[in-house]
Amino acid sequence: SAVISQKPSRDICQRGTSLTIQCQVDSQVTMMFWYRQQPGQSLTLIATANQGSEATYESGFVIDKFPISRPNLTFSTLTVSNMSPEDSSIYLCSVTGSNTEAFFGQGTRLTVV
C-alpha cells in the first residue's frame, strides 16, 4: 500500500486568489492523479501527472486553471487558479498501487468565498 500526505486539509479562500495543494507519497510512483469531488457528486478526474512530462488533462479541465507540477516520483502539486465559488470542492490526490487498486490522500476541502 501507499501512504499519501496531502495538505492543506482545508482552506477558505477569497475569490480571485489561487491555492496550491501538495501531495507527498511514501514511495516512488510513475503516475499521480488529481480528482475533484463536488458536494453530493462522484469523483471527477482532473488530470494525470507523470514525472518529467506535462500533465494530461481530462475534458473540461485546462492547464491555465489547474496547473500541476510533478518534480519527482514522490511529489506533486495542484494549483487552483483565479478561484470562484464554483471551485469549492474536495480535491483528492491518488496513486495506483502495484496491485491495481488506488490509494488516496485525505483530501483538501476548499471553500471559496
Partner 1 sequence: AQSVAQPEDQVNVAEGNPLTVKCTYSVSGNPYLFWYVQYPNRGLQFLLKYITGDNLVKGSYGFEAEFNKSQTSFHLKKPSALVSDSALYFCAVRLDNSGGYQKVTFGIGTKLQVIP
CB of 88 to partner 1, least distance (A): 15
Strand partners, 31: 50
Among the listed residues 11, 13, 43, 51, the single contact to partner 1 using CB under 8 A? 43
Q: Is 42 in the site for partner 1 (CB under 8 A)?
A: yes
Cβ atoms of residues 97 and 2 within 8 Å:
yes
Strand partners, 69: 77
Q: Which stretch binds partner 1 (CB under 8 A): 11-19, 63-71, 75-83, 95-103?
A: 95-103
Q: Is 92 in the site for partner 1 (CB under 8 A)?
A: yes
CB of 105 to partner 1, least distance (A): 5
Q: Which stretch binds partner 1 (CB under 8 A): 12-20, 43-51, 59-67, 74-82?
A: 43-51
* Buried b or exposed e, range 3-39, using 16+ CB within 10 angstroms: ebebeeeeeebeeeeebebbbebeeebeebbbbbeee
Nearer to partner 1, 14 or 42 (CB): 42
Query: Residue 86 — left, alpha, or beta (φ > 0 → left; ψ -120 to 50 → alpha)?
Result: alpha
Question: Where does the chain have alpha helices with state H?
Answer: none
Q: Which positions lie near partner 1, rule CB under 8 A?
A: 4, 6, 9, 31, 41-43, 45, 48, 92, 96, 99-107, 109
